Amino acid sequence: MTVTGTTPISGSKQSRRRVIVAVVVAALIGAIAIDTKVVQIGSETDLRQQAFDPDRFGQSEFPRIRDFVAGRAPDAADLVAALDADRDAAIADYGRVAGAFPVLTARLTGVVGDGSSGIFEIAVDDLPDGPQIRVQTGPAINGTELRDITGDIEFGNFTNQIEYQNAGAGINRAMAAEALSGLDRDALPGQTVTVTGVFTMINPASWLITPVTFEVAP
Protein backbone atom coordinates (compact mmCIF):
# COMPACT_ATOMS: atom_id res chain seq x y z
CA MET A 1 0.00 0.00 0.00
CA THR A 2 1.28 3.43 -1.00
CA VAL A 3 0.99 6.20 1.57
CA THR A 4 0.90 9.82 0.27
CA GLY A 5 1.37 12.95 2.41
CA THR A 6 3.09 16.35 2.67
CA THR A 7 6.79 16.26 2.19
CA PRO A 8 8.46 17.86 5.21
CA ILE A 9 10.30 21.12 4.50
CA SER A 10 13.97 20.62 5.01
CA GLY A 11 15.85 22.58 7.64
CA SER A 12 17.86 24.42 4.98
CA LYS A 13 14.70 25.61 3.20
CA GLN A 14 13.21 26.83 6.50
CA SER A 15 16.40 28.72 7.24
CA ARG A 16 16.39 30.41 3.82
CA ARG A 17 12.76 31.41 4.30
CA ARG A 18 13.52 32.97 7.70
CA VAL A 19 16.44 34.88 6.18
CA ILE A 20 14.30 36.19 3.33
CA VAL A 21 11.54 37.30 5.72
CA ALA A 22 14.11 38.99 7.95
CA VAL A 23 15.63 40.82 4.97
CA VAL A 24 12.21 42.01 3.79
CA VAL A 25 11.27 43.23 7.27
CA ALA A 26 14.59 45.01 7.64
CA ALA A 27 14.13 46.68 4.27
CA LEU A 28 10.66 47.88 5.23
CA ILE A 29 11.89 49.27 8.53
CA GLY A 30 14.75 51.02 6.74
CA ALA A 31 12.38 52.56 4.20
CA ILE A 32 10.11 53.82 6.98
CA ALA A 33 13.09 55.29 8.82
CA ILE A 34 14.32 57.07 5.71
CA ASP A 35 10.88 58.54 5.07
CA THR A 36 10.40 59.64 8.68
CA LYS A 37 11.58 63.08 9.79
CA VAL A 38 12.16 63.75 13.45
CA VAL A 39 10.84 67.19 14.41
CA GLN A 40 12.01 68.83 17.59
CA ILE A 41 9.25 70.69 19.41
CA GLY A 42 9.76 74.42 19.03
CA SER A 43 12.12 74.10 16.08
CA GLU A 44 11.55 75.81 12.74
CA THR A 45 10.23 72.55 11.31
CA ASP A 46 7.59 72.23 14.04
CA LEU A 47 4.24 72.74 12.28
CA ARG A 48 3.16 75.02 15.09
CA GLN A 49 6.12 77.26 14.26
CA GLN A 50 5.24 77.20 10.56
CA ALA A 51 1.80 78.69 11.25
CA PHE A 52 1.74 82.43 10.54
CA ASP A 53 2.62 84.48 13.61
CA PRO A 54 1.91 88.20 13.03
CA ASP A 55 4.07 89.32 15.94
CA ARG A 56 7.05 87.31 14.77
CA PHE A 57 6.46 88.69 11.28
CA GLY A 58 6.26 92.26 12.60
CA GLN A 59 9.44 91.93 14.64
CA SER A 60 11.24 90.60 11.59
CA GLU A 61 9.96 93.21 9.12
CA PHE A 62 9.80 96.43 11.14
CA PRO A 63 13.55 97.22 11.29
CA ARG A 64 13.86 97.35 7.50
CA ILE A 65 10.58 99.29 7.19
CA ARG A 66 11.88 101.83 9.73
CA ASP A 67 15.13 102.20 7.80
CA PHE A 68 13.29 102.48 4.49
CA VAL A 69 11.05 105.27 5.79
CA ALA A 70 13.91 107.10 7.52
CA GLY A 71 15.94 107.03 4.33
CA ARG A 72 13.14 108.35 2.14
CA ALA A 73 11.21 110.81 4.30
CA PRO A 74 11.46 114.53 3.40
CA ASP A 75 10.88 117.38 5.81
CA ALA A 76 7.17 118.09 6.04
CA ALA A 77 7.60 121.56 4.51
CA ASP A 78 9.51 120.11 1.54
CA LEU A 79 6.80 117.49 1.04
CA VAL A 80 4.08 120.15 1.00
CA ALA A 81 6.03 122.13 -1.59
CA ALA A 82 6.65 119.04 -3.70
CA LEU A 83 2.98 118.06 -3.62
CA ASP A 84 1.96 121.58 -4.66
CA ALA A 85 4.45 121.57 -7.54
CA ASP A 86 3.79 118.07 -8.93
CA ARG A 87 1.63 115.70 -6.93
CA ASP A 88 2.40 112.58 -8.94
CA ALA A 89 6.15 113.19 -8.87
CA ALA A 90 6.07 113.81 -5.12
CA ILE A 91 4.22 110.55 -4.54
CA ALA A 92 6.75 108.67 -6.67
CA ASP A 93 9.67 110.29 -4.82
CA TYR A 94 8.42 110.01 -1.26
CA GLY A 95 5.83 107.23 -1.21
CA ARG A 96 3.63 105.06 -3.35
CA VAL A 97 0.00 104.46 -4.20
CA ALA A 98 -1.48 101.65 -2.10
CA GLY A 99 -5.03 100.87 -3.10
CA ALA A 100 -7.11 103.99 -3.63
CA PHE A 101 -4.80 106.46 -1.89
CA PRO A 102 -1.10 107.30 -1.73
CA VAL A 103 0.95 106.57 1.36
CA LEU A 104 3.72 109.08 1.98
CA THR A 105 6.72 109.45 4.24
CA ALA A 106 7.49 112.61 6.21
CA ARG A 107 9.78 113.98 8.89
CA LEU A 108 8.92 116.89 11.17
CA THR A 109 9.75 118.69 14.39
CA GLY A 110 7.01 120.49 16.26
CA VAL A 111 5.22 121.18 19.51
CA VAL A 112 2.61 118.73 20.74
CA GLY A 113 -0.87 120.13 21.19
CA ASP A 114 -4.15 118.65 22.28
CA GLY A 115 -4.65 114.91 22.12
CA SER A 116 -7.35 112.30 22.38
CA SER A 117 -7.08 108.50 22.45
CA GLY A 118 -3.34 108.74 21.90
CA ILE A 119 -3.60 110.96 18.80
CA PHE A 120 -1.94 114.38 19.19
CA GLU A 121 -1.84 117.50 17.06
CA ILE A 122 1.63 118.74 16.16
CA ALA A 123 2.31 122.42 15.42
CA VAL A 124 5.19 122.65 12.95
CA ASP A 125 6.84 126.10 12.84
CA ASP A 126 7.59 126.14 9.12
CA LEU A 127 4.04 125.04 8.21
CA PRO A 128 1.84 127.77 9.70
CA ASP A 129 -0.61 127.53 6.82
CA GLY A 130 0.01 123.91 5.94
CA PRO A 131 -2.01 120.78 6.64
CA GLN A 132 -3.22 119.83 10.08
CA ILE A 133 -0.71 117.27 11.33
CA ARG A 134 -1.51 114.66 13.92
CA VAL A 135 0.53 111.71 15.15
CA GLN A 136 -0.82 108.51 16.65
CA THR A 137 1.12 107.34 19.67
CA GLY A 138 -0.95 104.37 20.85
CA PRO A 139 -1.28 102.32 22.88
CA ALA A 140 -3.35 100.98 19.95
CA ILE A 141 -1.86 101.78 16.54
CA ASN A 142 -4.31 101.60 13.65
CA GLY A 143 -3.88 101.48 9.90
CA THR A 144 -1.69 99.62 7.42
CA GLU A 145 0.68 102.40 6.31
CA LEU A 146 3.76 100.67 7.70
CA ARG A 147 2.82 97.44 5.96
CA ASP A 148 2.14 99.17 2.65
CA ILE A 149 4.93 101.73 2.32
CA THR A 150 7.71 99.50 0.97
CA GLY A 151 5.54 97.94 -1.75
CA ASP A 152 6.90 94.43 -1.29
CA ILE A 153 4.50 93.14 1.39
CA GLU A 154 1.57 92.15 -0.80
CA PHE A 155 -1.67 90.24 -0.40
CA GLY A 156 -0.34 87.43 -2.58
CA ASN A 157 2.31 86.65 0.03
CA PHE A 158 -0.36 85.56 2.51
CA THR A 159 -2.95 82.81 2.81
CA ASN A 160 -5.97 85.09 3.08
CA GLN A 161 -7.19 88.60 3.87
CA ILE A 162 -7.22 87.97 7.62
CA GLU A 163 -3.56 86.97 7.59
CA TYR A 164 -2.73 90.03 5.46
CA GLN A 165 -4.50 92.33 7.94
CA ASN A 166 -2.80 90.61 10.87
CA ALA A 167 0.57 91.21 9.22
CA GLY A 168 -0.07 94.95 9.35
CA ALA A 169 -1.14 94.75 12.98
CA GLY A 170 2.00 92.78 13.84
CA ILE A 171 4.20 95.44 12.25
CA ASN A 172 2.34 98.17 14.16
CA ARG A 173 2.89 96.36 17.45
CA ALA A 174 6.58 95.89 16.70
CA MET A 175 6.89 99.62 15.97
CA ALA A 176 5.09 100.55 19.20
CA ALA A 177 7.33 98.26 21.21
CA GLU A 178 10.44 99.92 19.79
CA ALA A 179 9.48 103.55 19.23
CA LEU A 180 6.75 104.24 21.77
CA SER A 181 7.56 102.02 24.72
CA GLY A 182 7.56 103.98 27.99
CA LEU A 183 6.12 107.10 26.37
CA ASP A 184 4.39 109.37 28.90
CA ARG A 185 1.40 110.49 26.83
CA ASP A 186 -0.08 112.62 29.58
CA ALA A 187 3.08 114.74 29.62
CA LEU A 188 3.31 115.20 25.83
CA PRO A 189 1.29 118.44 25.36
CA GLY A 190 3.71 121.36 25.16
CA GLN A 191 6.70 119.13 24.48
CA THR A 192 8.83 119.42 21.33
CA VAL A 193 9.02 116.18 19.39
CA THR A 194 10.74 114.97 16.25
CA VAL A 195 8.80 112.38 14.29
CA THR A 196 9.51 110.34 11.19
CA GLY A 197 6.66 108.30 9.83
CA VAL A 198 4.08 107.46 7.20
CA PHE A 199 0.55 108.64 6.47
CA THR A 200 -2.21 107.88 4.00
CA MET A 201 -3.13 111.03 2.11
CA ILE A 202 -6.91 110.77 2.04
CA ASN A 203 -7.34 114.49 2.73
CA PRO A 204 -4.34 116.64 1.68
CA ALA A 205 -5.26 119.12 4.42
CA SER A 206 -5.05 116.55 7.22
CA TRP A 207 -2.21 114.12 7.89
CA LEU A 208 -2.41 111.35 10.47
CA ILE A 209 1.11 110.05 10.83
CA THR A 210 2.07 106.60 12.03
CA PRO A 211 5.62 107.03 13.37
CA VAL A 212 8.63 104.81 12.90
CA THR A 213 10.66 107.05 15.22
CA PHE A 214 9.36 109.37 17.93
CA GLU A 215 11.78 111.50 19.93
CA VAL A 216 10.89 113.89 22.73
CA ALA A 217 13.31 116.78 23.19
CA PRO A 218 14.95 116.85 26.63
> So what's the pLDDT on residue 108?
97
> So what's the pLDDT on residue 179?
97
> So what's the pLDDT on residue 152?
95
Burial pattern 191-207, b for ≥16 Cβ within 10 A else e, equals eebebbbbbbbeeeeeb
> So what's the pLDDT on residue 129?
84
Amino acid found at 21: V
Query: pTM, whole model, 2 decimals?
Result: 0.77
Which residues contact residue 159 at a Cβ distance below 8 angstroms, ignoring those fewer than 6 apart? 52
> So what's the pLDDT on residue 3?
47
Q: What are the tens digits of pLDDT across the range 44-101?
A: 554 445 689 999 999 999 999 999 999 999 999 999 999 999 999 999 999 999 989 9
DSSP the chain: -----PPPPPHHHHHHHHHHHHHHHHHHHHHHHHH-----TTSTTSHHHHS--HHHHHHHHHHHHHHHHHHHPPBHHHHHHHHHH-HHHHHHHHEEEETTEEEEEEEEEEEEEEEETTEEEEE-TT-TTS-EEEEE--SS---SHHHHTTS---GGGSSSHHHHHHHHHHHHHHHHHHHSTT--GGG-TT-EEEEEEEEE-SBTTEEEEEEEEEEE--
Contact (Cβ atoms closer than 8 angstroms) between residue 111 and residue 122: yes
CA distance 168 to 153: 9
Counting as low any pLDDT under 50, the low residues of the chain are 2-3, 5-7, 9, 39, 41, 46-48
